[in-house]
Structures are given as structure tokens and as C-alpha cells.
Chains A and B, each alone.
Chain A
Amino acid sequence: MPIIEVRDLVKSYNGLEAVRGVSFEIEEGETFGFLGPNGAGKTTTISILCTLLSPTSGTAVVNGYDCMKDPKGVRSSIGLVFQEVTLDNELTAYENLKFHCYLYNMQRSVAEKRIDEMLEVVGLGPRRNDFVKGFSGGMKRRLEIARGLLHRPKVLFLDEPTLGLDPQTRSHVWHFIEELKKREGSTVFMTTHYMDEAEICDRIAIIDRGRIIDCRSPEELKSSLRGDTVYLETDDDQAALKELSEKLGLEARRIEGGGLALIVESGEKVIPRIFSGLSTGVRSVNLKRPSLDDVFLHLTGREIRDVEGSGTDRPVRGFRR
């Protein structure tokens, strides 16, 4: 039996559909990722699964509990790390964790042992009695992840767990998540819009505009592209597109914001042909081995960062506290 089962989930806000008929299943022990730009419906779906929102229609079952009919059963089965920091700055690391243990009705002796253990794992043992307000962004994240796992949840939800962190801290946090997953063996459901982060998942659902477009392992997704991507900047995209197709028999597609992209079997061999065959000026060429970025581009015709460009939440979040 899958640990999470979602059927035809729909959520609309004032007639606007944020999630439009999403279905998927997650097996126990799996790391499952939701990959998509801001506003794709990732957080909405997670909020429904965590019983913070009720869906307009459809069903969601977590660990055998229905999210609408038995929210308490769901809540005791899950751990959560939100996009925003949800720690109490006025309390110490230890006090934040203790608050959580009492809220989840853990026995005192079990709680103390578990707190020590988790603080050690995320490397905050020496900072246990320090106030959270003095912590860096990465330390806060680690503490939240430790907190999310304190009550040994069946499923750990990570909603953009590295949002607003610098690249070094990001990889540090991922290192901890992978370590913890090995130790605790829990199922992980994460959302991200960073492609490299999605690659640690067993399976990835690519979500865009409220729909799942594809759902497979990262390897399968990448191999579905059958080859490399060549990016071209030309003097005249329209003319180059025509020439590529008529003279060389290559199907290229335009990228939002200018430029062309071609998916070819072997990039090294195609690039010389492009140079000799095109009369339109080529300003730059870029060859890329398949990555999840390309998968997203291939499936949606947009690059994930194009969509992200308008999103203002990241820098603003940084100044919020």
C-alpha cells in the first residue's frame, strides 16, 4: 500500500485554479520530488496533504488517514519543514525542540533522548542552549529539519527547504537531509525549483500551471531527451530557425527571451555543421549534456528560471526577519 495516495486533487482560489487535477502515489521509503516554478501549485498541494488547506475536490490519503476526514491522524504521521522559518527566536534550540515534543505528546524521557540525538545529527549539539535569534540561516534550517523528525514521522515534508540560502549552505543542508534519510528511513516528499536538488529524488513529478506533466526517475527523465542540447544565440532567430530546418533538417525551438535550443543526439558533431551551414550570424554556441533543466524546458517550452524571474519572494524573504 502506498504511503501517500492522491487522486484528482483540485484547489481553486476565487475561481482561479492553483491545482488542476493532480494524481500520484508515493511508496514507503521513497524520496519524491515536486519540481516546478513558483506558482506551479507545489505549496498548495503540500498544504492540502498537511491538512492546512482543504481541496476543492479530489482525495488525499497519508499513511492510511484521509486528509479531510482524519486530519489528526495525518498530523501525527507527518513532519514538516516549511518554506519560511517557523522557529521561535526568543527560545533556545533546545527549548524549540522541547516545545515540539510536548505538542506531539512525547514522553519526557523519550523526548530528552531524542532531542540530544537529533541535535547531534544536525551538528547543533554545542549550540543547544543558545537563542535561535543568533543562528545563521543554515543553522535555523538544520534545526527545523531536526524538529521535523523528532517525533519519528512516517513522512517528512520539505517545502523548498533551501529557499534563500547561499549555495554552500544549500549543499550542507542537503547533506544532512540525505544522512537523516539513511538513519531514519522515513519517506521524504520535497518541493524545489532547483534542478540539481531534485536529482537526489527517487522519482520526480514535474509540475507546471497546476498539472503534473511527467513523473519518472531523474535518469528516465533525462534519457527521455535522447541527447544533448545545443543553445544558439543568433542575429536573427526567425531566419536561423528556418535555415536549420530547411538546409540541415534540424528541428530547433525558440526560447522565451531570445535564442534557440536544439536537442540532438551528439552535440559535438552537429555544431560544426551548424557553423558551416548557416548564413545567419551565430553569436554564441553552448552545448549542454541533459540535465533536469532541459527536461523542464523540453516539457514546457520554458526554462524554470524564466518563470522564476518575476518571483519576488526570495530576496524579500531574506529581509523579513
Chain B
Amino acid sequence: MISFRAVYVIVLREFKRFFRQRGRLLTTIARPLLWLFIVGSGLTKIVEPGSKGSYMQFLLPGVVGMTILFSSIFSTISVVWDREFGFLREMLVAPVSRVTIVIGKLLSGTSLSIFQGMALLVVAPLVGLSVGAVKLVVMFFLIALVSFSLTAFGLFIAARLTSLEGFNVIMNFIVLPMFFLSGALYPVEALPGPLRWLTYINPLSYGVDSFKHVLLPEGARLGAEFSMTLDVAVVCAFAVVMTLLSAWAFERR
């Protein structure tokens, strides 16, 4: 049913494309650093005048979440891209099942996001956070889980998107609100009522919160707001639902 050689080659292709598109590579490196060091240092002065750096620490888990979100959604847009430029047809007439193609896209999107999310942890010492081996391993699994669920979510959207124009709409109405309302930039509790509720139904909030649990020092003024169990449970549920939905959306075509 599932052809592993086909899955392998689909993943290989996405990695080659990622490292060859210089602009994309540079953007993925620059975007989180811009948020962390430019937006971060500016806002630190407003959030807590006098103190040094702890808002930037608060920002790191959020920026990891953002990087994964953007990377996952971007990589599934390659399905739309492939459709637009005909390459999808090469895959659709091959003697492999649709499930094989979905798994290939899911794994490539997930692993690209893991790679980018983990790479970002390199800057943790620059904002004064120490990330030891244990924390790295825990982060790896959490990042993998969140990446997987967001890639499945992206695939579900991409399956219904027929043109690249639709991508801008997705960016502005789904991806950016998801980022802003995920507790990445400000604590959920600080938001006014309706926005707080939107944050509660945003699965990314729980992913970002789980990163806060691991990365932020205990007893920090700004820290995690939900329990770790709730975080992992919500992200797992989201991953399962989105995988089923995206498989369904592809089979239907």
C-alpha cells in the first residue's frame, strides 16, 4: 500500500529544494532573529523598563513556534506549487497510492520544521537561557509533535487550494492570526476577553506553552500558563484530526 522508496524520494526532493532556494533559506534564518532581537529589544523597554532581557527570554519559545508554523505551512504550499507547475501530475500517474504521496509530504514538511526549530535553539544562550542535553531531547520531541500537527494542518489547506493567489489569503487570515494569538508575543492572560478565547481555541497556543515549560526558567515572571499534560494532549489531538482530514481531502480529489 505504502511505497517507502517513493516516500523517501519525495522527502529527499523537498530537502534539496529547501537548501537550493537561497532566498527561502535566508528568510527562515533571518525572520526569527528579527523578531527576537529587534522586536524583542524594542518591546523589552516597554514591558519591563530597567530590567534586562527577560522579555526576550519569554519571546524565544514563541519564536520557535512561529518558525515551525511558517515552515510547516510553507512546505505544504509546495503541493499547490506542484499542482500549478504540473509536477503533481507526474506523481499522480505513478503507480503509488495517494496515501504514499500524503505521507511523503507530511514527513518532509515535519522534518524541515524540526530542523529549523532545533537550529533556532542555538541562540538560546544569547538571551541568557541555558539549554542542556535533557532539555534538547525534550524539545526535539515537542518540536516534532507540533511540526507534524501543523504540517498536517497545512496539507489539509493545500489540498483545497487551487492557486497560489490563495496563499496570501491563507497567510493573512490563518497563519498570522495563529501566530499573534498563540501567546508567543504576550501572555494569554494579558489579552482582552474575546481575544483570549481565540487563543484558547488555537492549537498553536498549547504548542508554544509546552516550549515555555521547557525553555523558561522556573518561577519566571512570564512563563507557561497551562499544564504540560494539557499542552501535549491538545497538540496530539490536533495532529490526529488534521492527519485524518488531510488524508481524506487528498483521497477525495
Task: Give me the interface of A with B, judged by CB distance under 8 Å.
Answer: 50-52, 72, 75-76, 78, 80, 82, 84-91, 95, 98-100, 102-105, 321
Contacting residue for A52 out of B6, B20, B21, B93, CB 8 A: B93
Contacting residue for A86 out of B20, B21, B86, B97, CB 8 A: B86
Contacting residue for A90 out of B6, B21, B96, B97, CB 8 A: B21
* A75 in contact with B94 given A91-B16, A98-B9, A103-B9 (CB within 8 Å): yes
Alpha-carbon distance A172/B5, docked complex (angstroms): 35
Asked if B94 and A82 make an inter-chain contact with CB atoms under 8 angstroms apart, the answer reads no
Contacting residue for B5 out of A52, A76, A86, A105, CB 8 A: A105
Residue of A nearest to B6 (CB): A103
Q: Which residues in B have their C-beta under 8 angstroms from that of A50?
A: 93
* A105 in contact with B6 given A84-B86, A85-B86, A90-B21 (CB within 8 Å): yes
- B160 located at the interface, meaning its Cβ lies under 8 Å from any Cβ of chain A in the complex: no
Alpha-carbon distance A72/B3, docked complex (angstroms): 13
Q: Which residues in A have their C-beta under 8 angstroms from that of B240?
A: none
Asked if A99 and B13 make an inter-chain contact with CB atoms under 8 angstroms apart, the answer reads yes
Q: Which residues in A have their C-beta under 8 angstroms from that of B90?
A: 86, 100, 103
Asked if B16 and A75 make an inter-chain contact with CB atoms under 8 angstroms apart, the answer reads no
Alpha-carbon distance A91/B93, docked complex (angstroms): 20
Alpha-carbon distance A80/B92, docked complex (angstroms): 11
* A104 in contact with B13 given A84-B86, A86-B87 (CB within 8 Å): no
Interface residues of B in 78-105 (CB under 8 A from A): 85-87, 89-97
- B52 located at the interface, meaning its Cβ lies under 8 Å from any Cβ of chain A in the complex: no
- B17 located at the interface, meaning its Cβ lies under 8 Å from any Cβ of chain A in the complex: yes
Q: Which residues in B have their C-beta under 8 angstroms from that of A90?
A: 16-17, 20-21
- B141 located at the interface, meaning its Cβ lies under 8 Å from any Cβ of chain A in the complex: no
Alpha-carbon distance A86/B83, docked complex (angstroms): 9
Q: Which residues in A have their C-beta under 8 angstroms from that of B5?
A: 102-103, 105
Q: Which residues in B have their C-beta under 8 angstroms from that of A103?
A: 3, 5-6, 9, 90-91, 94, 96
Q: Which residues in B have their C-beta under 8 angstroms from that of A105?
A: 3, 5-6, 95
Q: Could you write out 19 A-B pairs with CB less than 8 Å apart?
A: A50-B93, A75-B95, A84-B86, A86-B86, A88-B13, A88-B17, A90-B17, A90-B20, A90-B21, A91-B16, A95-B13, A99-B9, A100-B94, A103-B5, A103-B9, A103-B90, A103-B91, A103-B96, A321-B85
- B180 located at the interface, meaning its Cβ lies under 8 Å from any Cβ of chain A in the complex: no
Alpha-carbon distance A80/B17, docked complex (angstroms): 24
Query: Which 6 A-B pairs give the minimum distances between C-beta atoms?
Result: A102-B9, A86-B86, A76-B95, A75-B95, A103-B94, A84-B86
Q: Which residues in B have their C-beta under 8 angstroms from that of A51?
A: 93
Task: Give me the interface of B with A, judged by CB distance under 8 Å.
Answer: 3, 5-6, 8-9, 13, 16-17, 20-21, 85-87, 89-97
Residue of A nearest to B9 (CB): A102
Residue of B nearest to A98 (CB): B9
**Inter-chain contact count A-B, CB under 8 Å?**
61
Q: Which residues in A have their C-beta under 8 angstroms from that of B93?
A: 50-52, 75, 78, 80
* A104 in contact with B94 given A84-B86, A99-B9 (CB within 8 Å): yes
CB distance from A318 to the nearest CB of B (A): 14
Name which of A72, A75, A99, A104 has the most chain B CB atoms within 10 A of its CB.
A99
Name which of B16, B17, B21, B86 has the most chain A CB atoms within 10 A of its CB.
B86
CB distance from B17 to the nearest CB of A (A): 5
CB distance from B200 to the nearest CB of A (A): 40
CB distance from A245 to the nearest CB of B (A): 52
Q: Which residues in A have their C-beta under 8 angstroms from that of B3?
A: 103, 105
Asked if B8 and A102 make an inter-chain contact with CB atoms under 8 angstroms apart, the answer reads yes
Q: A50-B93, A86-B87, A105-B6 provided; 16 other pairs, C-beta below 8 A?
A: A52-B93, A75-B93, A75-B94, A80-B93, A86-B90, A90-B16, A91-B16, A95-B16, A100-B94, A102-B6, A102-B8, A103-B3, A103-B5, A103-B91, A104-B95, A105-B5
Residue of A nearest to B90 (CB): A86
Contacting residue for B87 out of A75, A78, A87, CB 8 A: A87
Q: Which residues in A have their C-beta under 8 angstroms from that of B85?
A: 85-86, 89, 321
CB distance from A62 to the nearest CB of B (A): 12
CB distance from A102 to the nearest CB of B (A): 4
Alpha-carbon distance A95/B16, docked complex (angstroms): 10
Residue of A nearest to B18 (CB): A90
Alpha-carbon distance A90/B12, docked complex (angstroms): 13
Asked if A91 and B13 make an inter-chain contact with CB atoms under 8 angstroms apart, the answer reads yes
Alpha-carbon distance A103/B8, docked complex (angstroms): 9
Alpha-carbon distance A135/B72, docked complex (angstroms): 31
Asked if B16 and A72 make an inter-chain contact with CB atoms under 8 angstroms apart, the answer reads no
* A82 in contact with B96 given A91-B13, A98-B9, A102-B5 (CB within 8 Å): no
Alpha-carbon distance A86/B85, docked complex (angstroms): 7
Q: Which residues in A have their C-beta under 8 angstroms from that of B92?
A: 52
Residue of A nearest to B82 (CB): A88
Alpha-carbon distance A321/B84, docked complex (angstroms): 10
Alpha-carbon distance A91/B85, docked complex (angstroms): 14
Alpha-carbon distance A77/B90, docked complex (angstroms): 14
Alpha-carbon distance A76/B94, docked complex (angstroms): 7
Contacting residue for A88 out of B87, B94, B95, B96, CB 8 A: B87
Asked if A82 and B87 make an inter-chain contact with CB atoms under 8 angstroms apart, the answer reads no
